[in-house]
A = this chain, B = another copy of it.
Amino acid sequence: MNTPDMTPGESGFSIERGPDARERILAAAESLFAVRGFEGVSTTQIAKVAGITQPLIHYHFKNKEALWKATISRLFSKLSQEFSAEVKMLPNKDDRRYLVEMMRCYVSFVARYPQYGQFIMREGVQESARLQWMVDEWLKPMLSQFHDIYDKGIAEGWMKDIPFPQLIILITASASQFFSMAPLVKALYGVDATCPEQILAHSDAVVEVAVNAILREPIAQQSEAATA
């Protein structure tokens, strides 16, 4: 799915073999680190998937941990950018509408990039320098905007007073697990979580349950007029 088949320089006398080895290493690292964790993957395995030799990884990245951080940054920045793009598109009037649309944005992302939820699952279960870095560098900044809306919703009374940690875990876990654990879903129910029907079914389920969970009264689903 990430085959970089655009030939890069093509200028003839350069020694470049294959389109950007650094990018292929990152793509291979992303898929492998996501499903087997930092300790569960060898740089030799990454090199094999990337189609290069193992020592080349150490030319492009200082060590295994630097490769891991670069992999996280490459993936998490995509979500961050999609959030930013979504915020710009929103009318900025109704906070409840804002919350729902950001949730849709999130579900859409974790459906397309199940690796995201996998990385969080892999690193979230034990204290480590890697977890601390991931939280400080990426998760806290992305969550801060939601905390602001949450506080507003509590103050204004339209948000149910479920605590913020519980709320976030409920939404993010429900949304991402279905896609991140597609093999489990397949083995348990014979259902392919990656097919369009299932993506739609799960997105709808998550948004409906989450909206019921956080809002005291439902919002007008698609009408643009309701602002009060």
A191 contacts chain B at the CB level, 8 A cutoff: yes
- Tell me if B165 and A188 are in contact (CB < 8 A): yes
Number of copies: 2
Given A162-B205, A165-B189, A166-B178, decide whether A184 and B124 contact each other with a Cβ distance below 8 A: yes
Question: Which residue of B has the minimal Cβ distance to A126?
Answer: B35
> In the bound complex, what is the Cα–Cα distance between A43 and B183 (angstroms)?
27
Which residues of A, 58-116, contact B by the 8 Å Cβ criterion?
114
Bin the interface of chain A by size.
35 or more
> In the bound complex, what is the Cα–Cα distance between A201 and B163 (angstroms)?
8
Given A121-B181, A163-B201, decide whether A36 and B126 contact each other with a Cβ distance below 8 A: yes
- Tell me if B125 and A180 are in contact (CB < 8 A): yes
Q: Is the interface of A mostly helix, strand, loop or mixed?
A: helix
A-B contact pairs, 12 of them (CB 8 A): A36-B126, A37-B37, A37-B39, A40-B40, A125-B181, A125-B183, A127-B183, A164-B189, A165-B191, A169-B174, A173-B178, A212-B212
Q: Mark A129-154, 1 if CB is under 8 A from B, else 0.
A: 00110010001100100000000000
Contacts of A174 in B (CB 8 A): 169-170, 173-174
